[in-house]
Amino acid sequence: MMPLLRSFIALRWIAVWQRNGRVWRKLAGPALLGNIGEPLLYLVALGFGLGALVGEVEGVDYLTFLASGFVCASVMNTASFEGIYSAYTCMAVQETWTAMLHTPLDVHDILIGEAMWAATKALLSALFIIIVAAFLGAVEGMLALAVLPVALLSGVTFAAMALVVTAVSRSYDFFLYYFTLLLTPMLLFSGVFFPVEGMPQWLQQLAQLLPLSHAIELVRPLMLGEIPQGIALHLLMLCGYGLLALLLAARLIQRRLHR
């Protein structure tokens, strides 16, 4: 934990973050379209289409309910893609990380830089959806701005988890396991599309273990201008997953690159 903390404070990771930002600026067009355009299409289509059938959910119209779920889902997807595909390409295909390790940067600097970059992209996608949701009337009050730090934190958590998978991966195919076994269930059972209360008790309890559930329990009230309940627990879960994943990823990447 100490090397991670020291590296975070030394801010060398900013060079890694900037490098990724520079790459992103070159490819921003298609990237933006994929990251943000798609969730927006779903939000509008499902919000209006399903909303007409469903009516109100938890006291708000379905579009409003769905918007906060989509903010979190988009954070998860954006950070995971970045932590998996971009990071794996840098690590295993382009040898970008090896080049970095030939400079004063170390594995911790790289890891934090990658996670912070993925979280930054996640934050941008959250912001974009919030803005559009606001236009659609699905956001109440300025408290919605408090979603942004939650998005950043969740982004780091999901990126760190993805980086663990990247660290042990031998090819792009391996990532399908992670998507199918973890990300898709998380998307379906954390309350993005419908309240978890409708599911069997045991499933609800399992859902409580998923980091995405906790992100949603923070973001959903904030989008409606309300203070969430159990803030400490939710933050603790997100931070805990994030920190554990970072520590594990650091270990694994160290072992892989410094062999």
Residue 95 or 226 having the CB closest to other proteins: 95
Residue 11 or 41 having the CB closest to other proteins: 11
Q: Could you give the CA distance from residue 28 to residue 192 in angstroms, rounded to a whole number?
A: 27
Smallest distance, Å, CB 183 to other proteins?
26
Using DSSP's 3-state secondary structure scheme, residue 170 falls into coil
* Residue of 187, 21, 29 lying closest to 118 (CA atoms): 21
Tokens matching residue 243: 């920190």
Residue from 34, 49, 104, 230 binding other proteins (CB under 8 A): 104
Q: Could you give the CA distance from residue 44 to residue 118 in angstroms, rounded to a whole number?
A: 25
Smallest distance, Å, CB 111 to other proteins?
15
For 129, other C-beta atoms within 10 Å of its C-beta total 26
Residue 39 or 113 having the CB closest to other proteins: 113
**Residues 24-53 close enough to bind other proteins by CB under 8 A:** 26-27
Smallest distance, Å, CB 13 to other proteins?
11
The answer to whether residue 146 forms part of the interface with other proteins (CB under 8 A) is no
Smallest distance, Å, CB 106 to other proteins?
6
Residues listed for the chain? 259
- Please list, in sequence order, all residues whose beta carbon lies within 8 angstroms of the beta carbon of residue 41, skipping any fewer than 6 positions away: none
Smallest distance, Å, CB 39 to other proteins?
25
Smallest distance, Å, CB 54 to other proteins?
44
Residue 170 or 258 having the CB closest to other proteins: 258
The answer to whether residue 257 forms part of the interface with other proteins (CB under 8 A) is yes
Q: Could you give the CA distance from residue 4 to residue 76 in angstroms, rounded to a whole number?
A: 23
Q: Kindly report each contact of residues 20-29 with a partner whose C-beta sits within 8 Å and lies 24 or more positions away, as own/partner.
A: 20/86, 20/113, 20/114, 20/117, 21/117, 21/120, 24/121
The answer to whether residues 62 and 51 touch, using CB atoms and an 8 Å cutoff, is yes
**Residues 64-103 close enough to bind other proteins by CB under 8 A:** 94-96, 98-103
| Number of residues forming the site for other proteins (CB under 8 A) | 24
State the DSSP code for 112. Answer: H
Tokens matching residue 140: 């109440």
Residue 26 or 170 having the CB closest to other proteins: 26
* Residue of 182, 147, 137, 135 lying closest to 71 (CA atoms): 147
Smallest distance, Å, CB 29 to other proteins?
14
Residue 60 β-bridge partners: 57
The answer to whether residue 2 forms part of the interface with other proteins (CB under 8 A) is no
Residue 57 or 107 having the CB closest to other proteins: 107
Residues found near other proteins in the complex (CB under 8 A): 12, 15-16, 18-19, 22-23, 26-27, 94-96, 98-106, 257-259
